[in-house]
Amino acid sequence: MSGITISTLNLSNEVKESLLQEMNFLNREGVPVEYAEMHIDKFYFLDCSLKEDDSHFNADQEKILRFYLANIITDLLMNNISKEFIQRVIRSKYRFLGTSEFNLVLQNAYAYLNNLHESGDIGKTLSRHNQILLEVNQYLDTNSDLYLEGFFRFRLKDYFTELEKSVELSMDNFLVEQEYHEFIRLLQYFVEVQEPRIDEVHVLIKDQQNFYLLDEEKQPINQEQLQGVLTDLNQDIDYDDLLLSALITISPKRLVLHLSAKAEIVDTLMNVFQDRIIICDGCPLCSQTALVPNLAIETKKLKP
């Protein structure tokens, strides 16, 4: 009785180990199987079959073999082969990427494809696994030879389309990150070359649209020290950008953050001011941020 021959262009040790583990497991469970590897031209052939000379050879054992091989093939398609195609797409579209950049885009694209990122839906991944497994089983019902790359490209067209979209999403996010890091480096440069106007500034962040600036004496920052920044208040200004501009204009030697609410700007401030910045772990001033609104200058009330 014939077995199943899996062919591929790229036979990694990981692929061979996966097959051998399953073959060994089946043999331990009483299903006599054997495995042979061949290399012809650029193709690798992995022949998996029942031992025909075994006296217990029967159709049920063949079904078990095909069931396990279908699961192995599904895992290979969703892991090794999908990564291979992601690499091909990236190399084809984004040849300018360096090695580390290439690997980063590859890693994130694979995570997006299989919903392994932070907000990913594992249930969706399991559903896709079952769909691919069904497709493989249907194919093996009438075929004994399966070419992994060909099956992926032409029998899993929807999955391949998602793969391309995952690469685009990963690349878009990579470029956004690059722009952000360039922006941070530019701001770091401004901070370094700017002459400090104040030794110490206390920033009280009340919420996403309100902050207060105090000097080292815990007094409101003089509006004259913020000229050039305040003119932006007549426009539709993002308050994170306003706070960042104000602090770079002042360029304090020491920056203390008092937080009564979470704010996205905090990470940016940490990156820009680095060793100049301290986050207060709780003091009377932190609680006064919410209780005493006239303690300092509030951005909504600032006028040039």
Tell me the CB-side half-sphere exposure of residue 12, using CA atoms within 13 A: 9
The domains found in the chain, sorted by start residue, are: 4-186 (no CATH), 200-301 (3.30.420)
Asked if 48 and 33 touch (Cβ cutoff 8 Å), the reply is yes
Q: From CA 56, how far away is CA 293, in angstroms rounded? A: 85
**CA–CA distance, 129 with 78 (Å, rounded to integer):** 8
CB crowding 256-286: b at 16 or more within 10 Å, else e: bbbbbeebebbebbebbbeebbeeeeeeebb
Bridge partners for 280 per DSSP:
none
Chain-centre distance for alpha carbon 272:
23
User: What's residue 179's pLDDT?
Assistant: 94
CA dihedral 83, 88, 91, 94 (to 10 degrees): -80
> From residue 198, how far is each of 41, 188, 246, 250, 273 by CA, in Å?
72, 17, 12, 7, 14
Q: One digit per residue, pLDDT tens: the chain, 304 residues?
A: 457 888 888 777 777 777 778 778 877 877 778 878 888 888 888 888 777 655 555 677 778 888 888 988 999 999 889 999 999 999 999 999 999 999 999 999 999 998 877 666 778 888 899 999 999 999 998 888 999 999 999 999 999 999 999 999 999 999 999 999 999 999 999 888 888 888 888 888 776 667 788 888 888 876 665 655 555 545 556 677 788 888 888 888 899 988 766 677 888 999 999 999 988 887 777 766 444 443 344 444 333 3
Q: Which two tokens stand for residue 102?
A: 């290439």
Query: In the structure encoding, which two tokens stand for residue 21, read together?
Result: 């583990």
pTM beyond 0.85: no
The helix/strand/coil state of 149 is helix
Pairing mode of beta strands 277-279, 254-259: parallel
